Structures are given as structure tokens and as C-alpha cells.
Amino acid sequence: MGITIIVVACSLSWAQDNPYPWLEEYDSSDAIVQRIDVPDGYKRVSPMEGTFAHWLQHLPLKQDGSTVYLYNGDKKADQNYHYAIINIDRSEQDLMQCADAIIRLRAEYLYSIGEFDMIHFNFTSGHEAKYTSWIKGYRPKVDEMRVNWVKNAPLDSSYESFREYLDSVFMYAGTYSLDNELEKVEDVSKMRVGDVFIKPGFPGHALIVVDMAVDKDNGRSLFLIAQGYTPAQDIHIIKNLHDEDLNPWYPLDFGDTLKIPEWEFPKEELKRF
């Protein structure tokens, strides 16, 4: 118990300087809120500092015009659908796909604030993968649909070990398991930054709301969405190809179905951590 408390305290102290652990140095001028303007007449929402929503809004972006690359270093065939690319590393294997990208962002946020107990996801089999168990040296032993956690590694809460934990989750989780973990948002008009559109399946798809803005006069809301995809590739913010004036923002009053490049989501498929 004492060791765990010390590790968490160190993480919290370190996160005050750099809330994005995969970066050696964080430049706030590259944040979504600095690089992507809201349309005229709109005001960006302002979540409380330290929340998941605030953390997502300040995700760093790569340089304008950057290319989406696949996990193996190849260029994605179609480069017409992304507006910006989040500056986060890709797995070197075909692991961090759509649901995995969302898991990655959620877990990175919790790691950065030292909430190790909250980092847990389910495998498609239904078995839970707790990061605190991983820290203690337990590793999943998978035999078809059975998963046993076996202690065969030393105590390790390093960032490198954390990334190995995530790769393990990516291998055995997906849209089906993530969908079962999330809570349904009954009213899409109550959307928040951090909410997830998810269609479970084999394959399914998922994307995450990373920013929102509100019209100061009529209250109309807009949102930005980011996604990973298959094969595993850079996480990117999606263009709005239906409204050039709003692009890359999407209107919250989109109707019954959210239509994005390459996919559609009924409004009932909005969920929340």
C-alpha cells in the first residue's frame, strides 16, 4: 500500500508540468484550443481545469498539413478526411484502432493525474484488466475465451510499463467491450466533451468528442470529433465535409444520424465514461 501511494504522488507532481506523458515537452501553443478557431459568433466551452474535458481540449496537434500514417509507417491511402492530427505516438503494431484510440486517451488522462485505480478496461471476453494489477506484476494469460492473471513480472509503474499495459488492452478489447463499459447519453443535446459515439461490432467504430462551442445568441452547440481507425493509424480530428463554413465543427442539431466521412452514427449511439 505504501509503495502505491508514493508512486501516485510522484505522478501527480510530475503531471502538473506535463499533462501529456508521451511528450518530452508540452507546448501549449499546439493545443486544440489554440490551433482550431471556433466559428464567428460561437464561444468555446470552458470545462474545469484538471477534468478529462479540459485535458482533451488541450491535446497537442501536429503541424498543419501533416500526413496520417499507419502503424507500419505507410501513408493512409485517403488523406482527405482529416483536419488535424493529434500529436501522440502510434503503436508499432496494428493494435491502436478506433476503440483503442479512445481507451488510450482516457487512460493517458487518468495516468497523468495519478488516478491509477480508475484505469481498468474489459476485454471482449468480459474479463477486467486493471492497471493496478499490472503494476503489481500480473499479466494476462489468455486461453481462447478464458483469461487468468498470473504474477510473472516485477513491480513497475513506469510509463514504459503503462504503455505495455495499454497494448495488452488494445489486443483483447474493442468496440464491443468498450460499448458495454460506457453509459448511454439519453439526450444527445446534453453532449459533453469526452462523450463517445460508438457502434459495437466486428468491425464496429467509435469516435470521441474533443471540444465544443456554443453560439452566444441562440445557444446552438457545435462539437469536434477525433478518431482512430483500421488499420491502426494516427488519431486525427475529422473534417465536416457537409458544411464548409463550419468545418471541422459539427452542429449538435445534426438530426437523427451523425454523418461523417466513412461512417454514420444514430444519435442513440452517444455514450459516456
pLDDT tens digit sequence for 109-147: 999 999 999 999 999 999 999 999 999 999 999 887 788
* Contact predicate 136/129, CB 8 Å: no
What pLDDT does residue 6 have?
Answer: 34
In this prediction, residue 5 has a pLDDT band, given cuts at 50, 70 and 90, of: very low
Residue 221 CA neighbour count, 13 Å, CB half: 14
pTM above 0.85, yes or no: yes
Residue 136 and residue 157 in contact, taking contact as beta carbons nearer than 8 Å? no
Q: What is the pLDDT of residues 59-109, one digit of tens each?
A: 999 999 999 999 999 999 999 999 999 999 988 899 999 999 999 999 999
Query: Strand, coil or helix: what is 64?
Result: coil
- DSSP class of residue 65 equals T
For residue 122, CA distances in Å to 24, 96, 135, 147, 172 come to 30, 15, 17, 11, 8
Q: Is the pLDDT of residue 222 over 80?
A: yes
How far are the Cα atoms of 87, 90, 167, 215, 224 from residue 94, in angstroms, in the given order? 18, 9, 10, 40, 26
In this prediction, residue 4 carries a pLDDT of 37
Task: Count H helices and E strands in the chain, helices first.
Answer: 7, 15
